[in-house]
């Protein structure tokens, strides 16, 4: 470790399953040894005095709802700024305090074959892909979280829900040109990141691993092994962590890594979330500022952050930090805008709910109607949970919500584009990768006890058959049926 770097042990984040209720899990902040506490406070004070940002790179422990009896643990890496949300800090464990600047790439790292794995959701490239893509999505136990006893229903339910949902989804993808732009944009981001790393003197291969469509994470992993990468940084392209997005992709990685001796030894650093990075916050503020100035009366514009929702139970029962991170992210962006003399009113709502359960509130569509009724005339929609254009920006926001807003009395509508390959943003991602490298370490191997693939084939066939019947009966309920077909 280079000079000026202090290693501290802080606290850990874990996602723990409780014994009496397998679906209830909680996040816990556990204090670790803290023998460098006073030095750390000095650094904090120094940083506040000099107004220099204090960066912290942390390795944390995370476990996902993977259905195993033992909660899964792995070494993760997360660069976080020392900002606290209501006195709480998630995810921090072993920390490297950097002196504001990204440290140079050390000569040790120059000897390595570095890989960066970008994780993303993936999207159907043609209308023909829509139903199988939806099947992959709903078959994910981090997307439909069934109680352990009912896990055997996962695949039959996914089959039925994907068939029910496909017509509605296809309409959406047809409206944006017949498929998702996610693969193209993520590939462009990967190329831009490679160039940005090169400019910062780090030669790295950048791979793309999608969770539900091509190129699948498994394909990227195969290529990483073929290229004999010796250090890997994993970077989910979701600024905020959710069990349903980054958590799900990381769980897939864990299970692949656990079975392969090469990956079990490979030093890996996982950047769980990066919504609080200064480069990201400033890049978002740049985009908002530019868009707000295009209104005839910029000071009257309501900044309307719209985030992809998750079911409420994720946050309230499973301890998903998504809502807290989202709220903190918006506070940071608004602080940045205020510092630029843009103190506009703002609000946050959640979009894209699917199915019969309650999702994070308030809902975007309901808030738009309320704002119209209250006499708000100018609205600037800001998609906040994702960094590429996709169906929920191009169809849901640009078409459905715009139409709803104009119908509800809003006269001036604008939308901030997704970050895509904005150079300040890509440069900040490159910094995040460089900061993450020193803490790469081999992922611990833990046993994943929930695996359909390990099941005896006869037992599997019986479960699928029974599961299909039960799932079919459940979906005959008119309320369930329409909630998957119609709600967005
Ligand atoms: C932070 C981003 C996202 C979260 C959180 C998230 C959770 C989540 N999503 C669904 C269901 C669907 N998501 C769909 C597409 C989709 N979702 C995200 C992002 C998040 N999802 C993206 C980027 C996309 C892909 C868009 C594309 O352009 O292809 C879909 C399919 C589209 C549709 O039919 O609406 C579904 C369904 C759930 C259930 C969930 C949390 C549990
Ligand atoms: Fe989604």
Q: Which ligand has the nearest atom to the CA of 127?
A: 1
463 contact partners, CB below 8 Å, separation of at least 6? 152, 455
CB-CB contact of 359 with 312 (8 Å) = yes
Residue to mutate, 143, 166, 354, 390, ligand 1, most ligand atoms under 8 Å from C-beta: 354
pLDDT at residue 443 in the model? 80
Q: Which residue's CA lies nearest to atom 3 of ligand 1?
A: 308
pLDDT value, residue 40: 28
- Tell me the pLDDT of the chain (488 aa) as tens digits: 222 222 222 222 223 223 333 222 222 222 222 222 222 232 333 333 333 322 222 223 233 333 332 222 233 333 333 322 222 222 322 222 223 334 456 666 668 999 999 999 999 999 999 999 999 999 999 999 999 899 899 999 999 999 999 999 999 999 999 999 999 999 999 999 999 999 999 999 999 999 999 999 999 999 999 999 999 999 999 999 999 999 999 999 999 999 999 999 999 999 999 999 999 999 999 999 999 999 999 999 999 999 999 999 999 999 999 999 999 999 999 999 999 999 999 999 999 999 999 999 999 999 999 999 999 999 999 999 999 999 999 999 999 999 999 999 999 999 999 999 999 999 999 999 999 999 999 986 444 433 444 445 666 566 566 666 666 666 666 556 566 655 43
Tell me, rounded to whole angstroms, the distance of Cα 396 from its chain centroid.
19
User: Which protein residue's CA is at the shortest distance from atom 18 of ligand 1?
Assistant: 121
Place of tokens 């309501």: 302
The tokens for 328 are 């903190």
Q: Is 390 in the pocket of ligand 1 (CB under 6 A)?
A: yes
Q: In which residue are the tokens 């993450």 written?
A: 436
CB atoms closer than 10 angstroms to residue 4 = 11
Phi, psi of 191 (to 5 degrees): -65, -45
Q: Residue 192, CB half-sphere, CA atoms under 13 Å: how many?
A: 17
Backbone angles phi, psi at 31, to 5 degrees: -75, 140
Of residues 64, 100, 65, the one with CA closest to residue 79: 100
In the reported structure, the alpha carbon of residue 49 is separated from the centroid of ligand 1 by a whole-number distance in angstroms of 43
According to the model, what pLDDT value does residue 56 have?
27
Which residue's CA is the nearest one to ligand 1's atom 8? 310
- Residue 185 in contact with residue 420, Cβ under 8 Å? yes
Are the C-beta atoms of 66 and 448 separated by less than 8 Å?
A: yes
**Any atom of ligand 1 within 6 Å of the Cβ of 238:** yes
pTM equals: 0.77
Assign 94 to helix, strand or coil: strand
Query: Tell me, what's the pLDDT at 474?
Result: 62
Whether residue 245 has its Cβ less than 6 Å from ligand 1: yes
Cα dihedral: 394, 312, 255, 119 (round 10): 20
Q: From ligand 2's centre to the CA of 119, what distance in Å? A: 14
Dist CA 142 CA 147 (whole Å): 12
CA angle 65, 69, 75 (to 5 degrees): 60
What does the block give as tokens for 348? Answer: 């946050």
Q: Among the atoms of ligand 1, which is closest to the Cα of residue 138? A: 39
Where do we find the tokens 């599961």? 467
Secondary structure (DSSP) of 121-186: ----SSGGGHHHHHHHHHT-TTTS---GGGGGGHHHHHHHHHHHHHHHHHHHHHHTTSS-SHHHHH
DSSP lists the bridge partners of residue 232 as 115, 268
**Ligand 1 pocket, 194 CB below 6 A?**
no
Strands 94-98 and 75-81: unpaired
């Amino acid at each position: 470790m280079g000079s000026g770097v202090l290693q501290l042990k802080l606290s850990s984040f874990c996602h723990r399953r409780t014994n009496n209720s397998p679906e209830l899990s909680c996040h816990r902040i556990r204090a670790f040894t803290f023998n460098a506490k006073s030095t750390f406070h000095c650094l904090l004070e120094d940083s506040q005095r000099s107004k220099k940002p204090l960066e912290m790179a942390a390795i944390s422990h995370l476990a996902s709802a993977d259905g195993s009896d033992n909660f899964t643990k792995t070494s993760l890496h997360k660069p976080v700024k020392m900002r606290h949300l209501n006195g709480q800090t998630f995810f921090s464990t072993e920390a490297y305090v950097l002196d504001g600047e990204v440290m140079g790439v050390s000569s040790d790292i120059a000897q390595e074959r570095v890989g960066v794995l970008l994780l993303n959701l993936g999207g159907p490239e043609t209308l023909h892909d829509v139903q199988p893509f939806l099947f992959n999505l709903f078959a994910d136990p981090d997307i439909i979280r069934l109680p352990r006893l009912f896990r055997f229903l996962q695949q039959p339910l996914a089959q039925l829900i994907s068939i029910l949902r496909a017509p509605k989804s296809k309409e959406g993808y047809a409206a944006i040109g017949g498929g998702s732009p996610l693969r193209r944009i993520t590939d462009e981001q990967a190329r831009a990141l490679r160039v940005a790393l090169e400019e910062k003197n780090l030669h790295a291969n950048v791979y793309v691993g999608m969770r539900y469509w091509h190129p699948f994470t498994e394909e990227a992993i195969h290529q990483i092994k073929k290229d004999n990468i010796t250090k890997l940084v994993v970077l989910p392209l979701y600024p905020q962590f959710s069990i349903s997005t980054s958590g799900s992709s990381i769980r897939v990685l864990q299970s692949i890594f656990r079975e392969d001796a090469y990956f079990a030894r490979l030093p890996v650093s996982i950047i769980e979330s990066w919504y609080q990075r200064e480069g990201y916050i400033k890049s978002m503020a740049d985009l908002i500022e530019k868009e707000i100035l295009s209104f005839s009366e910029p000071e009257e514009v309501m900044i309307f952050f719209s985030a992809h929702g998750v079911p409420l139970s994720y946050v309230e029962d499973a301890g998903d930090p998504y809502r807290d991170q989202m709220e903190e992210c918006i506070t940071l962006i608004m602080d940045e805008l205020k510092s630029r003399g843009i103190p506009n009113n703002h609000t946050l709502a959640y979009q894209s709910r699917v199915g019969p359960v309650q999702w994070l509130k308030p809902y975007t569509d309901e808030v738009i109607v309320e704002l119209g009724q209250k006499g708000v005339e100018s609205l600037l929609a800001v998609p906040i949970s994702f960094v590429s254009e996709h169906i929920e920006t191009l169809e849901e926001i640009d078409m459905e919500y715009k139409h709803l807003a104009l119908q509800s009395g809003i006269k001036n509508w604008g939308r901030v584009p997704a970050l895509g390959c904005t150079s300040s943003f890509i440069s900040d991602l490159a910094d995040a990768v460089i900061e993450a490298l020193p803490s790469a370490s081999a992922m611990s191997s833990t046993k994943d006890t929930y695996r359909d693939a390990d099941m005896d084939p006869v037992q599997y066939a019986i479960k699928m058959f029974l599961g299909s019947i039960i799932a079919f009966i459940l979906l005959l309920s008119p309320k369930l049926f329409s909630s998957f077909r119609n709600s967005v």
